[in-house]
Structure 1
Amino acid sequence: MTSGGRAAYRTAAHPASLGIMNFGPNWFATVMGTGVLATAALSLPQHLPGVHRAATVVWTVAVALLAVLTVGFARHLRRHRRTYLDDPAAAHFWGAPPMAVMTIGAGALMAGVPGAVPVAAACWLIGAAGGLVTAVLIPYRTMTRGWGGPGEAPGGRLMPVVPPMVAAAQGALLAAHLPDGEPRAQLLIACAAMFGASLAAAAVVIGQVWARLAAHGPGTAAGVPTLWIVLGPLGQSMTAAHLLAAAAPAHLAEVANAAAVLYAVPVLGCALLWLSLAAALTLRAARDGLPFTPGWWAFTFPVGTLVTGVAGLSGRTGSAPLAALALALFALLLCGWVVAAGGTLRWLRTTSAAAV
């Protein structure tokens, strides 16, 4: 590509064209990405020294981010409510706040912080309810408002339908901390139902993303990082299958374990294929100019779900190569978090300097 072409590419990819540089719901991906860094570290098959303490600190940072963003976004939303409902690029990211809340709940349980179970239960109720709303409302608006065109952030279309899968995983993790009885059984049934709902919807959207890429290419550079979001439902479904099997009643444990392995292995293959494509497309976009957007946080949470999914599969099969893969994916997650956090800090400094 010529220098003029690169300039045109960067201009076409200006973040304003996506409507996502404002203080929208997409910024809750910072909580998701930071929180999953903690849960992924705690999921690793390898017992590394100091991991629990470091993960707890990271989880605390995620909690602080959630508090700050919730207050700031609530104030901002009063003036710009319609913007984030009527702009398709922004509206699809309404799935981020519920997932951010549930990521905090999962981290509380895994880190074993004081009051973890009631905190996780509250996070699950809020996140699952919000996630079910986005999973219905945003696709409905997509179908009735003509939002089905090529678009600028194709992977973002998955954001509204992934929260029920996150709810399935966090709910199963919560169920494992509850005593046997009717509430636990009903929670697991609800989680399994949300697993199916999200899996079906995500499969449809992933097919649309692939078709869109084949027909129209990756689009502008700013939207390319959102392609990593496809890894989210894949990795999260592996994680949910593992956690549902772990929390299954004793008389179903053997069947649930086999089902979790039989599901996770082929999905892992699909995830690694998409990871290779997303990485190649991202490197291609980076050569021509990759402007910062909150979409850079897609380098974190989706990869984190792969870490937890592969770690669970490794534990069930006793596979040393899978354990090594989980560690390698965690290293990729850590790099992605550094890139996204560094880009965010640089953008904040630039924005603050320009405002002075």
Structure 2
Amino acid sequence: MTTTLHRSVARSPRTVTRSPRRAPVRVERPVDAFRHIGPNWFAVVMGTGIIATAAATLPVQPHGLRGAATVVWVLAAALLVVITGAFAAHWVRHPEAARAHGRHPVMSHFYGAPPMALMTVGAGTLLLGSDVIGMSAAVAVDWVLWSSGTVLGLLTAVAIPYRMITGQRPQADAAFGGWLMPVVPPMVSAATGALLVPHLPAGQARLTMMLGCLAMFGLSLIAAVLTITLIWSRLLHFGPPAKEAVATVWIVLGPLGQAVTAAGMLANAAPSALPELYAKGLLAFSVVFGVATWGFAMLWLGLAMAVTLRHRTVMPFNLTWWGFTFPVGTCVTGSSVLFAHTGADLFAIAAVALYLMLVGFWVLVAARTLSGVRHGGLLRPPAPVPA
């Protein structure tokens, strides 16, 4: 979620010199607009789609909310089509730039965004789109998007860490929130795949789907915990990231909230796929694990807010700001599922408060993104590394 590919995300704002303000960029040819379309652009779809899916799960459903959420789902689906087309044109017209993204130590991590965008829109199709296109069509669309996103997500979960292991060694202060992007998609697969379990034939089909989602839950959870530990250590030893990447601190909320959501959604699906003993055990696990993980997520939310407020006057706008949306949205869905399983008003209040925060962030970031596209600022070439 960063358009400044050659900026150092590891450098603290205290060591970064201000670069002169550049004039708005005018795209001379339509084809030039695709030159700098990277995988980070799919964060726009993620951040928009989570507005819709989080609304569908809220404990409080005021009149008109579902209709508004459905409109947002349509917008997210349209954005997915447009950005996928632009990304394909980027690969066709500028293959050298596209390959460079895959090799870049920062941008390569954001290849985790396309699969999550696919599955976010797919979940919205099942939860909200069924009112528009019918349940049968919604299930079919979700299967296509979920399957595509899952395959791509598993590939990124292996390929990007492999490149890190076998490629150039990162600096000691290189860890940042973007490192989580390649390993989170399987957790999204687990959460959204749980919605599809009841739509499979009873027996081996449901059992296989259920166990596959549980395996992806564990795959992503353990990888995320290891990565969050590295990010925590980096922040303690080297301070906040560069001002251009402060928003990436919020990405840590993504796997935390998504893990709570996935555990709860899998517990909901378990009775139709697993023996009663295991289904009850998974429900108990989802509550105990979910509450504990939710607590750490709230701690990280406080830290992310404090770091952001401290640097609010020096943070330039870029696509990393979409990190304010999807990760917070997963905390909304996690709080909602905990309320459904515990009946504790604490989680209902938290879900509503976090959703209001999410909507506020989305309005701000969407407006800035639209302005950046209109004036060409988000289509300019990467800036050099600050001295």
Letter in 1 for 2:281: V
Quote how far apart the aligned CAs of 1:238 are: 0.4
Aligned to 1:305: 330
For the 8 Å contact 1:28–1:100, the answer to whether it is kept is: yes
d(CA) in 2 for partners of 1:13, 1:142: 33
- Is 2:33 aligned against 1:33? no
- The correspondence for 1:237, drawn from 259, 264, 280, is 259
Quote how far apart the aligned CAs of 1:118 are: 0.8
Deviations 1:41-73 (A, max 9, x none): 011001211111111110000011010111111
Unaligned runs of at least 5 residues, structure 1: 15-20
Quote how far apart the aligned CAs of 1:7 are: 11
RMSD between aligned alpha carbons? 2.2
Percentage of pairs with the same residue: 49
Unaligned runs of at least 5 residues, structure 2: 1-12, 23-34, 381-387
Provide the TM-score with structure 1 as the length reference: 0.92
Cα distance, 1:101–1:354 mapped onto 2, change above 3 Å: closer
SS in 2 for 1:249: helix
d(CA) in 2 for partners of 1:189, 1:262: 20
Aligned to 1:17: none
Quote how far apart the aligned CAs of 1:353 are: 11
- Is 2:99 aligned against 1:82? yes
- Is 2:58 aligned against 1:44? yes
Aligned to 2:186: 164
d(CA) in 1 for partners of 2:221, 2:143: 23
Aligned to 1:126: 148
Aligned to 1:99: 116
For the 8 Å contact 2:336–2:347, the answer to whether it is kept is: yes
- The correspondence for 2:370, drawn from 329, 341, 345, is 345
Provide the TM-score with structure 2 as the length reference: 0.85
Cα distance, 1:95–1:352 mapped onto 2, change above 3 Å: closer
Aligned to 1:109: 126
Aligned to 1:184: 206
For the 8 Å contact 1:9–1:221, the answer to whether it is kept is: no
Aligned to 2:321: 296
Q: Write out aligned runs for 1:204-223 (5 A).
A: 204-223=226-245
Letter in 2 for 1:281: V
Quote how far apart the aligned CAs of 1:191 are: 0.3
- Is 2:289 aligned against 1:263? yes
- Is 2:33 aligned against 1:11? no
Cα distance, 1:150–1:76 mapped onto 2, change above 3 Å: farther
Letter in 1 for 2:289: Y
Letter in 2 for 1:32: M
For the 8 Å contact 1:152–1:220, the answer to whether it is kept is: no
SS in 2 for 1:308: helix
- The correspondence for 1:173, drawn from 178, 195, 198, is 195
Deviations 1:233-265 (A, max 9, x none): 000000000110000036133222111101100
d(CA) in 2 for partners of 1:162, 1:335: 24
Quote how far apart the aligned CAs of 1:284 are: 1.1
Aligned to 2:176: 154
Q: Which runs of 4+ in 1 moved over 6 A?
A: 352-355
Cα distance, 1:22–1:218 mapped onto 2, change above 3 Å: farther
d(CA) in 1 for partners of 2:65, 2:365: 21
Between stretches 77-86 and 274-283, larger displacement belongs to 77-86
Cα distance, 1:56–1:9 mapped onto 2, change above 3 Å: farther
Deviations 1:157-212 (A, max 9, x none): 10000000000011111113334221111001100000000001001110111111
Letter in 1 for 2:319: P
Aligned to 2:308: 282
SS in 1 for 2:315: coil
Cα distance, 1:271–1:149 mapped onto 2, change above 3 Å: same
For the 8 Å contact 1:84–1:91, the answer to whether it is kept is: yes
d(CA) in 2 for partners of 1:352, 1:201: 35
For the 8 Å contact 1:158–1:205, the answer to whether it is kept is: yes
SS in 2 for 1:176: helix
1 or 2 for the larger relative contact order (CA 8 Å, sep ≥6)? 2
For the 8 Å contact 1:307–1:329, the answer to whether it is kept is: yes
Deviations 1:306-341 (A, max 9, x none): 000110000100111210110000011111111210
Aligned to 1:201: 223
d(CA) in 1 for partners of 2:168, 2:321: 26
Quote how far apart the aligned CAs of 1:293 are: 1.1
Quote how far apart the aligned CAs of 1:304 are: 0.4
Between stretches 182-191 and 339-348, larger displacement belongs to 339-348
d(CA) in 1 for partners of 2:159, 2:21: 28
For the 8 Å contact 1:153–1:224, the answer to whether it is kept is: no
For the 8 Å contact 1:13–1:291, the answer to whether it is kept is: no
Aligned to 1:329: 354
SS in 1 for 2:125: helix
d(CA) in 1 for partners of 2:116, 2:329: 13
